[in-house]
Amino acid sequence: MSRLLVSVVDSAEARLAHSQGADFIDAKDPEAGALGALPLETIRAICACLPADAVTSAVAGDDEDIGQLADSALAIAATGVSFIKLGLGRATACPPAVAELGRLLGGRGRFIAVLFADEDPPLSLTASLHEAGFAGVMLDTRQKKGIRLPDLLTADQIASFVAGCHRLGLMCGLAGSLRVEDVEPLAALGPDYLGFRGGLCLAGDRRGQLDPLAIGRAASRLQAIRHGEQAA
């Protein structure tokens, strides 16, 4: 059953997203690229403003220097956030880099790898990520210029990726300039969560303010799908 992840920039947005039905609150700086990391104190404030049982995540960036990326992820892990997302670009989306990251992170079960669909990553990398101790994998897009995940991969390709993650016991997320109307077709493919920022912002501007009505619509659509699955 798919859940809703909403990326936020501060505690005010975190409270707003949570109040409108977001299941995951994701701390991210949209001004700093696809996976821009927020300051540690901002991440701590986001975690502190939410109920104790809220599920949170924060991005650690996508540095090509494996050591720096691991250091950033470990520092963010100390803020109290539930999960930490690490972007793997062209230089790091390969088994040797994943193995080294796993060694540096210590297989702590809270790290999620992000693969950029617009960089043609090897989707078979899930096996290496599982071996390295990652908790999950997410498909996203690096370029935020209106090209959506469904524009880059077919439904069959995405479904195969999701199924492969689940066979390995990995949490699976889908994101990448998604819009509210993407909820039903992507949720039907079985990911654990769908990630949004720009598609839930006023005027679709990921650097702008979140739109509470859009968050509510996305949350309601996912809730309706979950209720239908439970009834079936």
The label of the residue with tokens 């193995």 reads: 99
Residue 231: which pLDDT band, with cuts at 50, 70 and 90? Answer: very low
What is the C-alpha separation between 90 and 183, in angstroms, rounded?
28
Predicted local confidence at residue 1, as pLDDT: 85
Residue pLDDT, tens place only, 139-153: 999 987 778 999 999
Q: Is the pLDDT of residue 156 over 60?
A: yes
Please list, residue by residue across 142-161, b when 16 or more beta carbons sit within 10 angstroms of its beta carbon and e when fewer do. Answer: bebeeebbbebbeeeebbeb
Q: Which of 3, 18, 28, 110 is catalytic?
A: 28
What is the C-alpha separation between 8 and 19, in angstroms, rounded?
13
Residue pLDDT, tens place only, 6-34: 999 999 999 999 999 999 999 999 998 88
Whether the model clears a pTM of 0.85, i.e. scores above it, the answer is yes
85 is a catalytic site residue: yes
Q: Which of 85, 142, 206, 221 is catalytic?
A: 85
How much is the average pLDDT of 203-224?
A: 94
Residue of higher predicted confidence among 145 and 208:
208
Predicted local confidence at residue 184, as pLDDT: 97
Predicted local confidence at residue 18, as pLDDT: 98
Mean pLDDT over the full length of the chain: 94
Residue 232: which pLDDT band, with cuts at 50, 70 and 90? Answer: very low
- Confirm if 64 and 77 have CB atoms less than 8 A apart: no
Q: Is the pLDDT of residue 186 over 50?
A: yes
What is the C-alpha separation between 230 and 89, in angstroms, rounded?
38
- Confirm if 226 and 1 have CB atoms less than 8 A apart: yes
Predicted local confidence at residue 230, as pLDDT: 52
How much is the average pLDDT of 89-94?
A: 94
Of 99-103, 173-177, 188-192, 204-208, the poorest mean pLDDT is in 204-208
Of 20-24, 156-160, 223-227, the poorest mean pLDDT is in 223-227
Strand partners, 24: 5, 55
- Smallest CA-to-CA distance from 198 within 38, 63, 49, 34 is with 34
Q: Is the pLDDT of residue 200 over 70?
A: yes
Q: Percentage of residues in the chain with pLDDT exceeding 90? A: 88
Domains and their CATH numbers in the chain: 3-231 (3.20.20.380)
What is the C-alpha separation between 215 and 35, in angstroms, rounded?
21
